[in-house]
Structures are given as C-alpha cells and as structure tokens.
Amino acid sequence: MGESLRTLVTPDGRTLAFAVWGDPEGFPILALHGTPGCRLMRWPREELYADLGVCSVTHDRAGYGRSDRNHGRRVVDEVADVRALADALGFDRFGVSGGSGGGPHALACAALLADRVVRAVCDVGVAPLGTPGLEPEAWLAGMDPENVKEFGWALAGEDVLTRELQALQQQFEERARVDPSTILQDVDMSESDRAELARPEMAQILRESTFEWAVNGVGGWVDDDLAVLQPWGFDPADISVPVLVRYGMTDVFVPPAHGEWLAANVPGCIVKINEAAGHLGANPEQEIAENARWLSAGIAPEGSRTPSPAVN
C-alpha cells in the first residue's frame, strides 16, 4: 500500500500534499492530475506501479485537496512545486506525466526543468488558447456544451466561475455518494468513455477523489480553469526533452484538434493516437505501462509515430 498523504512546505511557505505509490526504489515518475483532481487519482490496483518498477508520485496541485492555494497562479508556476517535490524526495532525474488539465503543467516542466526531466507524457492535454496555439473557435470546436459552458464561466471572471463551480461540485458530490459513474451524465461523451466510467476501478477513483479535491473549496479548480485560458508563461517550442503526446479521436472534453496542435508544435515529440478512445483512454493498465516504459526507458508505445512539424 502506498503512502496516500504526505506533506512538505514549499520555498514560498505553502503546504504541498502528495502521495507515493509503487516501488520506493523504482524509477521516479511525477504524475500530474487533471482538472479537477487530486493526489488520489491513481490506478487503484497499486501493485501495478511496483510491477512496472516505478515510484509514482502524485500531488494535490495548489488549491486542491490538502495543498494550500496559490491564488492567481499560472501554468508555469507548477514547475516550482514539482521541483520542490523532487528535491524533497531526492529525485535528481525523473519522468513527468500529465493528463487533461495536467498536460500543460507537464509540458511546463519539460520546458523549464530540462536538466532534471528525462522524458514527459502529455495525455489528452489541452493546447494553448490564442497565439501561440488555437484560436478560440478552433479551441472550442468539438467540445461538449457542458465544457464550453464551464470555460464561459471562466471568461466571465473569477467570481462567476467560483459560484458556478461550487454548485457543480455539490452536484458531483451528490452523484458520487450514490453512483460515481453518473457524475458526468450530462456530458454527451463517446461510447468508449461511457465504458471506462463503468469500470469498478473508475468508480473507486471518483468515490475517493471527488470529495478530496474540494475538501477545502474549489479554489484549485478555479485557478486551473483561469490559468489554462491565460498565457501559460512558457513556449512549448522551447521544449527540448522527449515528449509523448497522446490523444483520442472521440474525445469531447479535449477534442482531437488540441492533440493535433501539440503533436505539431512540441519539438521532436512522438504521438500516439487512439482512433476509438475518448478522454479516458481504452485500456488503463496497458496505457499506464506504456507511459512508464516510455518515461523510464524511452520505449515508444506500439503504433506511435513522429508527426510532421508545424509550418510557420
């Protein structure tokens, strides 16, 4: 059994909560959760990480779970917290992965911690909004109306976003108490994602995480939404470490155009596209294993390719 709650104090005096799973002596991977999320968003069959020979470390991004809020943070500000976590655990070199809203934060680490990040994974991560990135119409194209509505709240300002996310969080918690698979029932998601939500492992993840990520309020969720819509504080073109970009063609949370943009604009990356999968993948244990082999040994997943770079 992993350590589900440890804490450290960051150089600027905030508490950062984290968890350690797998083999403590294994290859270190810092896994960055999505939006919303928390350190408990790991695969419940925890021996998987030990079997893969990795030490997987998750943490509550600032404002989530037991981590203090860093009000007004940008995507790039996650880098300092990842560095502090790696320092506290004695990780000189490590891999970093980020899923969904964690994707941009993983890319920030790849861009700014090149002396320590060996390789990175950006899994169904969003692209930047505006230049450089996707223009607003393209950024939202193919996104489910519920997601579009949430980003509309963010564009309306922090007060509106906070009020609406508090109401949404209450709804999520009510559903999680009864049946976690219904949390996203208002989203017209793909059959693949519906099948993933029906997994008992996913029910456990949501049952544990839904209450934990907002145990001290929705500040982390608010800050994530605001940060991803603003300039990220780094240029993906500056990334020099190897990156695996993954996305699914039936994703209505982060549509394929985001993955296509990242694949074309993250220098030297490789890309793995799942034609049938949506936001939640299709075979979690296989995908975790593929990511671990990529991060620890540079073994690219079967079927991945090197994309053509963007034409400026």
Band of residue 296 on the pLDDT scale cut at 50, 70, 90: very high
pLDDT for residue 311 is more than 70: no
Residue 165: how many CA atoms within 13 Å on its side-chain side?
Answer: 28
Tokens read off for 163: 């009020």
Residue 234 identity (one-letter amino acid): F
Q: Which helix (H) or strand (E) holds 7?
A: strand 3-9
> Which residues lie below 8 Å from residue 211, measured CB to CB, with a gap of 6+?
173, 176
- What does pTM read for this prediction? 0.97
Token readout for 31 is 């896994």
Structure tokens of 259?
A: 């993955």
The predicted structure's pLDDT at residue 279: 98
Report helix, strand or coil for 245: strand
Question: β-pairing, 15-22 with 3-9?
Answer: antiparallel
Q: How confident is the model at residue 16 (pLDDT cuts 50, 70, 90)?
A: very high
Q: Name the pLDDT band for 280 (thresholds 50, 70, 90).
A: very high
Statement: residue 1 has pLDDT above 90: no
pLDDT at 2: 80
Q: Tell me if residue 290 falls in helix, strand or coil.
A: helix
Q: Where exactly are the structural domains of the chain?
A: 3-297
Residue 101 is classified by DSSP as: G
CATH number belonging to the domain at 3-297, selected among 3.60.21.10, 3.40.50.1820, 3.40.50.1220, 3.50.50.60: 3.40.50.1820
Instruction: Please list, in sequence order, all residues whose beta carbon lies within 8 angstroms of the beta carbon of residue 125, skipping any fewer than 6 positions away.
Output: 98, 99, 100, 101, 102, 103, 104, 106, 107, 245, 247, 254, 258, 259, 262
In this predicted model, what pLDDT tens digit does every residue of 137-177 receive, in sequence order?
999 999 999 999 999 999 999 999 999 999 999 999 999 99
Question: Cα–Cα distances in Å, from 189 out to 1, 167, 258?
Answer: 33, 21, 17
Helix axis angle, 158-178 to 145-156, nearest 10°: 140
- Mean pLDDT throughout 195-201? 96
- Identity of residue 90: G
Q: How far apart are CA 154 and CA 174, in angstroms?
A: 23
DSSP track, 208-232 = HHHHHTTTT-SHHHHHHHHHHHS--
Query: What pLDDT sits at residue 308?
Result: 72
Q: Give the C-alpha separation, 107 to 126, whole Å.
A: 11
